[in-house]
Amino acid sequence: MKVTTLGEFIIERQADFPYATGELTRLLSDIAIAGKIVNREVNKAGLVDILGAQGEENIQGEQQQKLDVYANNQFISALKAGGEVIGLASEENEDYVNMDGGVSSNAKYVVMIDPLDGSSNIDVNVSIGTIFSIYRRITFSGPATLEDFLQKGSEQVAAGYIIYGSSTMMVYTTGFGVNGFTLDPSIGEFCLSHPSIKIPQTGIIYSINEGNYVHFPDGVKKYIKYCQEEDINSDRPYTSRYIGSLVADFHRNMLKGGIYIYPETAKSPKGKLRLLYECNPLAFIAEQAGGVASNGYKRIMDIEAKELHQRTPLYIGSSDMVEKVEGFIAMYAEKVST
């Protein structure tokens, strides 16, 4: 059987766009190469002295792990050298990194990235991921400015993730469906393994950190009880699966059908996850695969971004399931207001 590599696939796709310049193709290839390098380090994390905390906190006040820092540096240097990116914002940097000057002077894209999400799982050999989001800059020249980064998710040109799991995969969309590529370590190439991914319209998996139950909004509490009730017609009770690694939880639910929820809580009224480099890119992928991504009230990709590290509640996955929980949230909100 003929194997299609990621490189071949993006070049074949580019041929459908006669005016394409190849810049996005090169940018995606740079991300894939940096991903392979990060994968190599993740795979040998138990072997070398790379495990454990770096001893510094990032802008969110969380402990940075050595591999977070390593991954951040890899993606920044690959994209700087590639010359297609004018600026990059990362979960690991308080401010965005400007890349103007040199090979990037005429670059038209900005990238937002979570270089290693779920990093608390590194030390215990659980799947982690890289999430990225690509926009066209909206300013015309010179260095990137904050407004280039604060675009709505609906303006994304491409988005994707790399999951470092039992195998390593890159999944991405440019707005024409979602395709997944599994890394074949013997040839060092991502190979097309999951063409045209579609999220089942409904599923039987719900993923949420139930330890926070007492802090959840009432609509979410009621939805969880609904998931746990017995009903043969709708296959309930559903199955609860929560890894605590967003990419892995999302990936499983996309392939099998399910919902991932990180709601606002009494402790974190804006939720935990970040809009620009965690929620928007996964929302773009979810929608392209036929799913839904919401903050409980509205589409994630319609949210106005006001700051780089903005947080939002996230309800994402199979359309019927996200709509169901939105219904519970709306029902409770009505009861409160009447």
Q: Is 168 helix (H, G, I), strand (E, B) or coil?
A: strand
Q: Which of residues 19-58 bind ligand AHM (CB under 6 A)?
A: none
The answer to the question of residue 321 lying near ligand AHM (CB under 6 A) is no
Closest to ligand AHM by CB, 29 or 130: 130
Residue 212 C-beta: closest distance to ligand AHM, Å: 7
62 binds, among ligand AHM, Mg ion, none (CB under 5 to 8 A by kind): ligand AHM
Closest to ligand AHM by CB, 246 or 303: 246
Residue 89 CA to residue 74 CA, distance in Å, equals 14
At residue 50, φ and ψ (nearest 5 deg) are: -120, -10
The answer to the question of residue 245 lying near ligand AHM (CB under 6 A) is yes
Q: What are the tokens at 81?
A: 């050298």
Among 65, 72, 104, 119, indicate the residue that binds ligand AHM (CB under 6 A). Answer: 119
209 binds, among Mg ion, ligand AHM, none (CB under 5 to 8 A by kind): ligand AHM
Closest to ligand AHM by CB, 109 or 284: 284
Q: Which amino acid is at 51?
A: L
* CB contact at 8 A, 238 and 226: no
Among 282, 297, 214, 200, CA closest to 247: 282
Closest to ligand AHM by CB, 95 or 229: 95
Closest to ligand AHM by CB, 29 or 119: 119
Helix axes 319-337, 218-228, angle to 10 degrees: 130
Residue 287 CA to residue 317 CA, distance in Å, equals 9
Among 114, 148, 264, 287, indicate the residue that binds Mg ion (CB under 5 A). Answer: 114
Among 30, 84, 92, 117, indicate the residue that binds ligand AHM (CB under 6 A). Answer: 117
Q: Per CB under 6 A, which region of 21-29, 117-125, 133-141, 294-302 contacts ligand AHM?
A: 117-125
Q: Per CB under 5 A, which region of 116-124, 137-145, 183-191, 288-296 contacts Mg ion?
A: 116-124
Closest to Mg ion by CB, 117 or 148: 117
The answer to the question of residue 209 lying near ligand AHM (CB under 6 A) is yes
Residue 243 C-beta: closest distance to ligand AHM, Å: 8
* CB contact at 8 A, 190 and 183: yes
Q: Is 46 helix (H, G, I), strand (E, B) or coil?
A: coil
DSSP summary character for residue 275: I
Residue 253 C-beta: closest distance to ligand AHM, Å: 12
Q: Hey, which residues does 111 pair with through a beta bridge?
A: 88, 134
Q: For the chain, what's the residue count?
A: 338
* CB contact at 8 A, 312 and 275: yes
The answer to the question of residue 117 lying near Mg ion (CB under 5 A) is yes
Among 251, 272, 311, 324, indicate the residue that binds ligand AHM (CB under 6 A). Answer: 272
Closest to ligand AHM by CB, 175 or 269: 269
Q: Per CB under 6 A, which region of 37-45, 114-122, 141-149, 184-192 contacts ligand AHM?
A: 114-122
Which residues touch 271 (CB under 8 Å, ≥6 apart)?
262, 263, 264, 265, 295, 311, 312, 313, 314
* Ramachandran sector of residue 3 (left: φ over 0; alpha: ψ -120 to 50; beta: rest): beta
**CA-based R_g, the chain, Å:** 20
Q: What are the tokens at 286?
A: 């979810």
188 binds, among ligand AHM, Mg ion, none (CB under 5 to 8 A by kind): none
Residue 238 C-beta: closest distance to Mg ion, Å: 26
